[in-house]
Structure 1
Amino acid sequence: MRTGLTLFEPQPAAGDVPEAFPSPFDELGPHALARRAADAVRAELQAGAVAPGVSAAPLDAPGGGKMFGVLVVREPGGRWGFLRAFSGLLGGQWRVPGFCPPVFDAEARARIEVPGEAEVKALGARAEAFEASAELTTARAALAALGSHQTHEREAMRLRHEANRRERQAERERLLGAALPEPARREALHALDQKSRGDKAEKRRSEAAWEAEQGALAPGLARLERRRRALERLRHAVSRALMRRLHDTYSIPNARGERRPLRALYTPREPPSGAADCAGPKLLAEARAHGLVPVALAEFWWGAPPASGGRVAGAFYPACRDKCGPLLPFMLEGLAVAPPRAFVPPVHAPGALSLVHEDAWLVVIDKPEGLLSVPGKGEALADSVLARLRARYPEAPGPLLVHRLDLDTSGLLVAARAPAVHALLQRQFLHRAVDKRYVAWVDGQVPADEGLIDLPLRVDLDDRPRQIHDPVHGKPALTRWRVLERRGARTRVAFFPLTGRTHQLRVHAAHPLGLGAPIVGDRLYGHEGPRLLLHAEALTFTHPGTGERVTFTRPAPF
């Protein structure tokens, strides 16, 4: 039985249908017809229903958001419609009325998953019980107490020997200056040397005794730790084996009518967790199962953002490279598929840069939005602030940018006209001796008036160049902010970055632990718009030539 095909009303005209299937990895967003289908699903979600009798409210709970997808299809009779799907489970369920089912064989999975997960949980419980056992905790505590006791004894001996050394040194100096017969002096000095050797011998005896005490306890604890690690390894091995068996319940079809085991598509590595459970594979598999021709795909996020950030309700996202990169190209084999389009900066009219300041040491530029700071790869990305500066100042070695602004950000940039000046200015940026002020409009009402955002960031390895919040592996990122104005559903904010991470202000604005309000026009962390409303408005630093503290400003053009 076909799952949830919705026919377009009215049917699209011939010119509204793409000639080739748009790449699911397209960075410029989905085709207009797929957007039309997505708008219909988003309207239902906005109204509060995932499906009849299934509320959308849990999606708005922290961590409850999810990726949804739609696939425009053509029936054998020529009518156009769309299927819908969600990634992973929804409310703990694989199947929800009106949405595509999972790709795996449900009966085969049930035979494997229930007993397999019970075995993994049992092993996990054994490992946790052993971790908390009196035998292991007592052995760890005993060795830790012994180590603490020995540390105190070692420090006490060190202090005592240090006092003895000072006393001997003072006595040596007294003996060397005293009027004594030489034999008596030598005998007294020899006695002091013997005391020194006695302290060294005491240290050797103590170290040997401490090592013996450790040796009496350490082997027993080591045996217990080996047992603990063996239980952990066993649990991981059984879990990996279970995952392989679960992956073997997936048979992946393509548009030619061929099928391939899921694991074969990821050889030589194993499929990542959740592979083939994204919305895209579910949609394509369902279309194939019912003889529907795939036409265009769109995936969008709905609900609360994930803990790492990087997703905004209602925004479209390309398919993930890690999970779907090896999978979707195979599933689309047999269809005419357009190559993925990458974002290309807008073409700026050639000409002079807008100079804010120029002297023998440096240049301050007001960078327009959409112009790269430095050239990218390829001829289409050759135009940049740096390229234009080097055309203006052709003398070797040419200007050097001290810092950069994102392609989408406008505002003040500083370039040095000599390597020595560049080094001096970069040192100021490195040591946070440069005061920076940005201004932005954010999409939302920010209730507080000011604050500090501390969210470590790293690149999203599955979705470059997006950055995500990672409290464990992320690099420190600090931003002070202050509200300047509130107007309707938007807030004008001044940002004062204390660090200079990639996309720092954009992520700190959008993340729920930051402002929870993406910058207006942010195509990566919010919603597309004519431009990103973020501008580097002011810079203050010590001039490397004069030594004076200087400030440059250029008001935002919005």
Structure 2
Amino acid sequence: MTPNNSSTFNVPASCFTPFIADVKQHALPELFTFPYYYTPHPLATAAMKQLQAHLTLLQNRHDWKETEDKPLESGNMFAVLVVENEQGQLGYLSSYAGKESDTPEWLTTSDNFVNAVFDIEVHHAELAPIQRELDEARAQLVELQRSLDISSRIDELTTKTSQSEQELKELAQSMSEGKKRRKQLRKEAESRLGLSLSQDELDLLIKTLGDESSREKRKLKALKQQWQISLTELSARVTLSHSQIQQQQEACNHLVTDMDTALNKACQFLNQAGELKSLHELFEHGEAIPHSSEQNLPKLLQAAFTHHYKPVALGEFWWGCAPYDSIRQHENLYPVCQSKCFEILEHMLDGIRMDESPLEQTPSFDKALEIVYEDDVLVVVNKPAEFLSVSGKYISDSVHARIRALYPNATGPLIVHRLDMSTSGLLVLTLTAETNKHVQRQFIQRTVEKRYTALLEGVIAETDGKALSGEITLPIRGDMEDRPRQMVCQQLGQKSATKYQVREVSNNRTKVYLYPKTGRTHQLRVHCAHQAGLNIPIVGDDLYGFKDSRLHLHAGYLKFTHPITNEVVEFEVPAEF
């Protein structure tokens, strides 16, 4: 194991916490927790309960409650790593995600949490020259923007351009009127030829009128040239200013890249063999998602390997209020964020035997696929829960694969629409390419009537004895830092709408009908769980709620036009819950 060396990486305090309760009845796991999808080992559960009791105590000491002057802070992700020290004693390490500088006030007095993997103060000497150069470049950029005052130059160019257009327009109008006047004078003079006007007098008048026309044309040409020179000079100054500012901005960007590279090289992670790898090495062929090193498991493993502790089991949970954009449940368990941590943990967990990945197992291998309806061009099936609509990266069994095997002569893509793996219910497939286009067009144009049944983990109150109904509209987009989760985003989210109707309340749970008007990923699950939606997750929703035997969401009703007969067809399969 590499010895502790503060010049290499941030050495965390031990933070080893012994168990208060007796945990001797729990046998040590043979394998370490698979971090991206797991049921916590009893030892991890005991550690989480002990940490949660400590968090409650800390919050009570700091009067942690919402007031008018002090709104309640959003919560955070906490984690425990059960470890065995060199003396064979069991205990755990604690962590919370994020920067130490962003630590909630009520946590600042606790020394139970491991340090960050990377401490910029430790590397101040090597990073300071780049930072100074970057600060100078940014100051130069600000001064350049001030001195050039490009917005004023653009305003001047815009004003002068409008002025030139107006002057040229007025002169052109004047010339047009002059031309009409000269034409009228000549016409009148020609009518008096031989009467009161001689030929010589007419010729002189025509010459005078022609000279006047020539002078006006020269005047227009001169005005155009004058404005062209003036506007060209102004435009050149604006272009030059843009170029100077852009060059300085690029210089700043290069220095930012240099700083990021230096930071990534300085941020180094241990594994159990004592091998160090930096963020720069780990993401050599990609870009690290911001704050990857601030996630819980990398911090916990760094502390464990630094102090020669053996990792035993992992548990991670949310504590506190959920931020508006994301869906989190207080005290609920969560997997490690694979998007942020995968490359880091590939190194840190190297050589550690782990539980088999549930994500690579095939939960549908022993499940039958019920065919609800079939004819020469259509097949409608009742998809079981935990059954893929289309084959995935690790799992080949799917509705598409089975229907392709059942109907080898079918053409086209077969699949018209999809259901989440965890959702059960009606799925339409087509047996010809032309039929597929016809039915898919109905889904795209939203003429297909769909109804889902969901069981919610809580009660929606009734009003005047009548079941509640309404519509939920939220802008949804994918959480790029925590796939496959979706998030609510007012700036970049896509509009999503769902009508709902309460059907039954029993055993402190609510059964609802859901009618999606749009088809965003995880739309129904987000609309149920989000605080601006129903604020009650679907039973068994392991992404936005709490684990159960299954996700209690069922696509129970479909109505659309048959592609051959043009008759309206309806299909209904009741939910099993």
Partner of 1:401, secondary structure, is coil
Residues 72-99 of structure 1: CA deviation (Å, up to 9, x unaligned): 0112222211110112235734964211
* TM-score for the superposition, normalised by structure 2: 0.73
1:511 is displaced (CA, Å) by: 3.5
Residues 177-227 of structure 1: CA deviation (Å, up to 9, x unaligned): xxxxxxxxxxxxxxxxxxxxxxxxxx9999988865642322222222233
CA distance in structure 1 between the aligned counterparts of 2:509 and 2:127, rounded to whole angstroms:
48
Instruction: Tell me if the contact between 2:367 and 2:384 (Cα under 8 Å) persists in the aligned partners.
Output: no
Partner residue of 1:501 out of 520, 544, 563:
520
Counterpart residue type for residue 496 of structure 1:
Y
1:481 aligned onto 2:481: no
1:467 aligned onto 2:486: yes
Residue in 2 that maps onto 1:454: 474
1:285 aligned onto 2:305: no
1:522 is displaced (CA, Å) by: 1.0
CA distance in structure 1 between the aligned counterparts of 2:433 and 2:125, rounded to whole angstroms:
68
Residue in 1 that maps onto 2:80: 70
1:35 aligned onto 2:53: no
Residues 97-140 of structure 1: CA deviation (Å, up to 9, x unaligned): 21111223564246678998798678667756766789222122
Residue in 2 that maps onto 1:49: 58
Residue in 1 that maps onto 2:8: none
CA distance in structure 2 between the aligned counterparts of 1:258 and 1:19, rounded to whole angstroms:
24
Residues 321-355 of structure 1: CA deviation (Å, up to 9, x unaligned): 44422322333345444554426453465556141
- The 5-angstrom pairing of residues 320-331 of structure 1 reads 320-331=337-348
Counterpart residue type for residue 466 of structure 1:
R
Partner residue of 2:427 out of 396, 413, 423:
413
Counterpart residue type for residue 296 of structure 2:
A
CA distance in structure 2 between the aligned counterparts of 1:246 and 1:49, rounded to whole angstroms:
33
- The 5-angstrom pairing of residues 271-350 of structure 1 reads 271-306=288-323, 308-309=325-326, 311-333=328-350, 335-338=352-355, 340-342=357-359, 344-347=361-364, 349=366
1:438 aligned onto 2:452: yes
Partner residue of 2:34 out of 23, 26, 29:
23
CA distance in structure 2 between the aligned counterparts of 1:332 and 1:428, rounded to whole angstroms:
48
CA distance in structure 2 between the aligned counterparts of 1:389 and 1:360, rounded to whole angstroms:
13
Partner residue of 2:389 out of 369, 373, 397:
373
Partner of 1:77, secondary structure, is coil
- The 5-angstrom pairing of residues 115-130 of structure 1 reads none
Percent of aligned positions with the same letter in both sequences? 33
Instruction: Tell me if the contact between 1:51 and 1:98 (Cα under 8 Å) persists in the aligned partners.
Output: no
Counterpart residue type for residue 19 of structure 2:
L
Partner of 2:102, secondary structure, is coil
Aligned-CA RMSD value: 4.3
Partner of 1:97, secondary structure, is coil
Residue in 2 that maps onto 1:548: 567
CA distance in structure 1 between the aligned counterparts of 2:132 and 2:66, rounded to whole angstroms:
31
Q: Would the alpha carbon gap of residues 106 and 217 (structure 1) be closer, same or farther in structure 2, given more than 3 Å must change?
A: closer
CA distance in structure 2 between the aligned counterparts of 1:154 and 1:533, rounded to whole angstroms:
73
Q: Would the alpha carbon gap of residues 340 and 370 (structure 1) be closer, same or farther in structure 2, given more than 3 Å must change?
A: closer
- The 5-angstrom pairing of residues 133-148 of structure 1 reads 135-145=149-159
1:364 aligned onto 2:380: yes
Instruction: Tell me if the contact between 1:7 and 1:79 (Cα under 8 Å) persists in the aligned partners.
Output: no
Residue in 1 that maps onto 2:18: 6
Instruction: Tell me if the contact between 2:270 and 2:348 (Cα under 8 Å) persists in the aligned partners.
Output: yes
CA distance in structure 1 between the aligned counterparts of 2:27 and 2:489, rounded to whole angstroms:
42
Instruction: Tell me if the contact between 2:268 and 2:278 (Cα under 8 Å) persists in the aligned partners.
Output: yes
Report which stretch shifted further, 511-520 or 275-284.
511-520
Count of residues in correspondence between the two structures: 508
1:289 is displaced (CA, Å) by: 3.0
1:425 is displaced (CA, Å) by: 0.7
Partner of 2:515, secondary structure, is strand
Instruction: Tell me if the contact between 2:100 and 2:116 (Cα under 8 Å) persists in the aligned partners.
Output: no
1:353 aligned onto 2:370: yes
Residue in 1 that maps onto 2:558: 539
Residue in 2 that maps onto 1:79: 89
Q: Would the alpha carbon gap of residues 533 and 44 (structure 1) be closer, same or farther in structure 2, given more than 3 Å must change?
A: farther
CA distance in structure 1 between the aligned counterparts of 2:482 and 2:512, rounded to whole angstroms:
28
1:89 aligned onto 2:99: yes
Residue in 2 that maps onto 1:161: none
Instruction: Tell me if the contact between 1:28 and 1:342 (Cα under 8 Å) persists in the aligned partners.
Output: no
Residue in 1 that maps onto 2:190: none
1:284 is displaced (CA, Å) by: 1.6
Report which stretch shifted further, 259-268 or 503-512.
259-268
Instruction: Tell me if the contact between 1:439 and 1:537 (Cα under 8 Å) persists in the aligned partners.
Output: yes
Structure number with greater Rg is: 2
Partner of 2:293, secondary structure, is coil
Instruction: Tell me if the contact between 1:29 and 1:318 (Cα under 8 Å) persists in the aligned partners.
Output: no
Structure 1 residues not aligned, in runs of 5+: 158-202
CA distance in structure 2 between the aligned counterparts of 1:386 and 1:542, rounded to whole angstroms:
22
Q: Would the alpha carbon gap of residues 406 and 533 (structure 1) be closer, same or farther in structure 2, given more than 3 Å must change?
A: same
Counterpart residue type for residue 18 of structure 2:
T
Residues 217-242 of structure 1: CA deviation (Å, up to 9, x unaligned): 22222222233334433443444444
1:29 is displaced (CA, Å) by: 4.0
Residues 260-309 of structure 1: CA deviation (Å, up to 9, x unaligned): 44534433556543242221122122223333221122223333445552
Partner residue of 1:522 out of 531, 541, 544:
541
Counterpart residue type for residue 3 of structure 1:
C
Partner of 1:426, secondary structure, is helix
1:430 is displaced (CA, Å) by: 1.3
CA distance in structure 1 between the aligned counterparts of 2:73 and 2:564, rounded to whole angstroms:
52
* TM-score for the superposition, normalised by structure 1: 0.76
Q: Would the alpha carbon gap of residues 123 and 343 (structure 1) be closer, same or farther in structure 2, given more than 3 Å must change?
A: same
Instruction: Tell me if the contact between 1:310 and 1:525 (Cα under 8 Å) persists in the aligned partners.
Output: yes
CA distance in structure 1 between the aligned counterparts of 2:251 and 2:293, rounded to whole angstroms:
27
Q: Would the alpha carbon gap of residues 375 and 332 (structure 1) be closer, same or farther in structure 2, given more than 3 Å must change?
A: closer
Counterpart residue type for residue 151 of structure 2:
T
CA distance in structure 1 between the aligned counterparts of 2:568 and 2:542, rounded to whole angstroms:
36
Partner of 1:84, secondary structure, is strand
1:544 is displaced (CA, Å) by: 2.0
Report which stretch shifted further, 409-418 or 89-98.
89-98
1:8 is displaced (CA, Å) by: 5.2
Counterpart residue type for residue 378 of structure 2:
L
Partner residue of 1:218 out of 235, 243, 263:
235
